Structure 1
């Protein structure tokens, strides 16, 4: 069997551990040391679905503006760009600068180099800073941060998925806008918080890879 080769590593801000990028043939993996694999280039069906199903729910919004929290391997961003068409703007917020570099270099071809698209703006920093502006800037906010509401790496993400963060997301959405949240697994308390914030909530189970693999969860929460 072809062995994994370590390509690079990067510290997670706030003492959240260390990410490592590995390659084996044409396959790539990002792992969190001590916690296992976070993502794999062969398994991205639910990340793609996060964008495709959000765009389907947006309908034909004129000049839509999307915020994506968490770049990953670029599959969510690439799917959003395919679905949105021409007059759109997508801002992707990525906390770890090395992940942006990986997507520009070794990982770029996986999703078709979405960071090179002129409709994309990259914010190297916490998505929380953009949400805290308090302005209704976005037609949709897509969050794929720290494995979902049951986070692995950063205590700061508790704010993002707590009531304060959800209220900030509500305020950052335009009327009728959608907050879409990816999670590795169920989180009933989080769904209750979405309802409490005032969102209209739909919970969808999506396979990680086609018709196979683990079932991930996506919440689509509309600002009514």
Structure 2
């Protein structure tokens, strides 16, 4: 079997860490330099698809629906959102690492069908928390796939996003009857309670990394 070869690196703002992009034939992997395992792989994106589908199906019929995706990753959540939303929708993607955007405009983008090229897509470089703070009432749905979930892995500053204060900001950024969807590699009972304390009604959904019904179990919180 062919081995992965590194084809790119990208600095993570804030802590000086680095992401690595690797390729093996048509398969891509993103990893954190100096750590074992991988953050994401183009073969396993079922839960990333589900994050967008579960959120966007609830608001897709709204005219000019507007959604925010925190974390571009490999583009699968964005692609699934665009498939679910109407032609008059707008999908804003907040990505902290400029290199990840460049990778998705290059060879990596083919895996998800180059969703950055869709005219409904708008990219915002920087912290998704800043987008939330400057756009109260701006979004029908907010999808957060930042780091490994509520517990920061690549960047400790991400913990603020999932704090009670950060969740309150996300709540303020939602339009009436909007939905906040949060992806995580695993369950976290404390996070469910945190969402409830902020005032959300919470639904916790278990999804598989590789659909249908295969791969690791990931968690998606839907908060209303």
TM-score higher than 0.5 here? yes
Deviations 1:14-73 (A, max 9, x none): 115210000001100000123320000000000001011111222521110000000000
| TM-score (normalizing by structure 2) | 0.97
Partner of 1:151: 152
Contact 2:61 2:86 in 1 (8 A): no
Partner of 2:45: 44
Partner of 1:140: 141
| TM-score (normalizing by structure 1) | 0.97
Moved more, 131-140 or 155-164: 131-140
Partner of 2:108: 107
Please state if 1:221 is matched with 2:223.
yes
Alpha-carbon offset, residue 7 of structure 1? 0.3
Alpha-carbon offset, residue 134 of structure 1? 5.3
Deviations 1:125-178 (A, max 9, x none): 110111112520000000000011012011211110001100000100011100
Unmatched runs of 5 consecutive residues or more in structure 2: none
For 1:124 and 1:109, the matched residues in 2 are separated by 21
CA RMSD in angstroms, aligned pairs only: 1.0
Partner of 1:11: 11
Structure 1 runs (4+) deviating above 2 angstroms are: none
Alpha-carbon offset, residue 3 of structure 1? 1.2
Partner of 2:182: 181
Residues matched between the structures, number: 222
